Each structure stands twice: as C-alpha cells, then as structure tokens.
Structure 1
Amino acid sequence: MTFFFLTILPFLPLDDLLFLSFGIEKINILKYYLITVLGKILKSFLELYTEIFILNKVSHISNIPLLQLSIISSIAFILLSIIFFKLDWEKYFNKWISKEK
C-alpha cells in the first residue's frame, strides 16, 4: 500500500528507489509492475484533471477561449523544453560554482 502511494507522488521518483528494495527482499517483479502501473495511471488521471480544472479557471478569468489557452500553453511548454534541452547545464553550473569560491 505504501509503495502504491509513493508512485503517485509528483516530482519524487521514490518508486525507483523502492524497486531496489523490492529486489533485495525478493518480492515478485510482476507484483511490482502491477502496483507501479496502477499508481502511474491514477497519477496521470489526477494530473490531467488538475490541469483541466486550472485551465478552465484561467480561461474564465482571462476571457481567453479554452482551446486557444491550451494551444498557447502547449507551445510555451514545448519552447521551454527545447530551451532547457539545448542549454549546457554543466557549463552554467561550473560557472556558478567558480563564482562562489
């Protein structure tokens, strides 16, 4: 039961860490995958419902139609993803570390 709830937590990949403990304890791998899949499906439903709820509220407040708001947010997140992928994070991290010394 604990493992199921850990698969639902956003931003925390604790289920990956528990995978190691499942191997140490010799727990059935099929049971692990079943729990993981069910938890991830529930997490996806919760995230999608939350996203739709927030988009509806923002659409109502800003008077932008929901379809246009969805397209705008999709384009914005695609652009952010491309920018974050293209950045040389190691270079910026090393520059930041050298400033602190």
Structure 2
Amino acid sequence: MPLRLNAFKRTVLVCCASSQNSHVALVNGPVLDARVPERTEIRFGLPSKGRMASDTLDLLKDCRLSVKQVNPRQYVAQIPQLANLEVWFQRPKDIVRNWSLEI
C-alpha cells in the first residue's frame, strides 16, 4: 500500500518578527496579521510600596535622577533627566512577571 502524505498533514504555527512589525502565519492556512504597535518610550518598572520602593528611589536620587509623579495615586511617572523613559510603579513580583516592561 502506498504511503499517503495527506494522512500526516499538520497545521504548524510559525512566528516571524522583524524590526518593523511581527506577523503570525499558519502554514497551509490563512495568514493572520498580528502586528505589535511600536512604542517610542522605554518602560522602567519600580516597586510601588515598601522598603524596596524607598531604597530604589533613594538609589535613583543618589544618581541624580528624580522621579516625577504628577499624582501620587497614579502608577506612571517620568524621570525628566532621561528622555523617552516611562516609570511604572508595580508590585515587585509583577515587575518580574510583566512582559510589557523593558527594564
């Protein structure tokens, strides 16, 4: 009995990334467009509460980097000395888990 290749077909997910955008395609199927929007700012995660938060802010202050938070109830701030940097205050374990932060 001859071997039938159709019996062994599988759908394979292929991910391709470039500097411009990302595409996800299904081999032998429709192409899905999953572009990731480009950001111009770098997201920097800092602890939001506790001793780690105060120690980190003290370290940045010693480095002459001031963290400017417009509203203390917001979790986003800026460091005026560093252009294109956005500070995000989060729990320490979320900083490690969160894939949306660069630093």
| Shorter-chain TM-score tier | under 0.3
TM-score (norm 1): 0.25
Question: Larger Cα Rg: Structure 1 or Structure 2?
Answer: 2
Point out the structure with the larger helix share: 1
Point out the structure with the larger strand share: 2
